[in-house]
């Protein structure tokens, strides 16, 4: 945010709340003319971080409105190009990517996903309904390839990316669809796990 915008925002907020600039200076523990000089003369050129945080609390606004950093910065998560369906629930892998989706870093921390391990993939088909629908964007943690029975994963099977639940059986593994119309796929070896699905974004 530009300095002029910050000064204008403080002046507007003070006016809306019926607070004088001298009062704002007092709140900061500064001389009575401090905030007037900042707003009208641009001196100092910018507020100290502590002063900015104090003013934001006093005026009841988010600190970024007064020039602070975003509370939860966004980070670009690469998309895997999966526009072409390769059968029910299938995705054709294209590691060239297809742009990026910006997600809140706080969300990644909550999900315990490192940004470098995160990818977005668009679901194609109805094999995972009602849990996942055609067109849903799913967040895949490529750092989690443990293979958790019952959890949804992206796996490579016969050269195709599939979004399925892993099911541990007596003889090995199965890829299970949530839609009962699709039978399980029995694997002849361990699953080739791309990552675990940890979050989805859906349009209403």
Q: What is the pLDDT of residues 26-79, one digit of tens each?
A: 999 999 999 999 999 989 988 888 999 899 989 988 888 888 777 667 888 988
pLDDT band at 98 (very low <50, low <70, confident <90, very high): low
Domain spans in the chain, listed from the N-terminal domain onward? 3-66, 74-201
| Residues 92 and 86 sit within 8 Å (Cβ to Cβ) | yes
pLDDT at 204: 66
Q: Give the whole-angstrom CA distance, residue 81 versus residue 111.
A: 23
CATH class held by domain 3-66:
mainly alpha
Residues with Cβ < 8 Å from 102, sequence gap 6 or more? 74, 75, 76, 77
pLDDT at 85: 32
pLDDT at 2: 65
Residue 95 has pLDDT above 70, yes or no: no
Q: Give the whole-angstrom CA distance, residue 151 versus residue 160.
A: 19
Average pLDDT over every residue of 2-9: 82
CA 159, 137, 176, 125 dihedral sign is negative
Give this prediction's pTM: 0.63
Name which of 86, 99, 148, 90 is nearest 123 in CA terms: 90
Q: Is 174 left (phi over 0), alpha (psi -120 to 50) or beta?
A: beta
Average pLDDT over every residue of 145-154: 94
Residues 74-201: name the CATH superfamily: Umud Fragment, subunit A (2.10.109.10)
């Amino acid at each position: 945010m530009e300095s002029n915008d910050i000064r204008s925002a403080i002046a507007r907020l003070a006016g809306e709340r019926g607070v004088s600039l001298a009062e704002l200076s007092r709140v900061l523990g500064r001389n009575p003319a401090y905030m007037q000089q900042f707003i009208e003369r641009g001196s100092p050129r910018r507020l100290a971080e502590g002063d900015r945080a104090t003013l934001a609390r006093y005026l009841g606004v988010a600190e970024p409105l007064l020039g602070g950093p975003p509370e939860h910065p966004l980070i670009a998560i690469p998309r895997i190009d999966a526009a072409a369906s390769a059968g029910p629930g299938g995705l054709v892998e294209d590691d060239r990517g297809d742009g990026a989706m910006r997600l809140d870093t706080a969300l990644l921390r909550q999900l315990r996903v490192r940004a470098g391990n995160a990818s977005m993939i668009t679901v194609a088909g109805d094999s995972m309904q009602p849990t996942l629908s055609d067109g849903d964007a799913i967040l895949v943690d490529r750092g989690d390839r443990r293979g958790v029975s019952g959890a949804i994963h992206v796996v490579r099977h016969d050269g195709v990316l599939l979004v399925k639940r892993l099911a541990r059986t007596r003889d090995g593994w199965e890829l299970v669809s949530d839609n009962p119309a699709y039978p399980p796929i029995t694997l002849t070896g361990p699953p080739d796990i791309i990552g675990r699905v940890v979050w989805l974004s859906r349009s209403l």
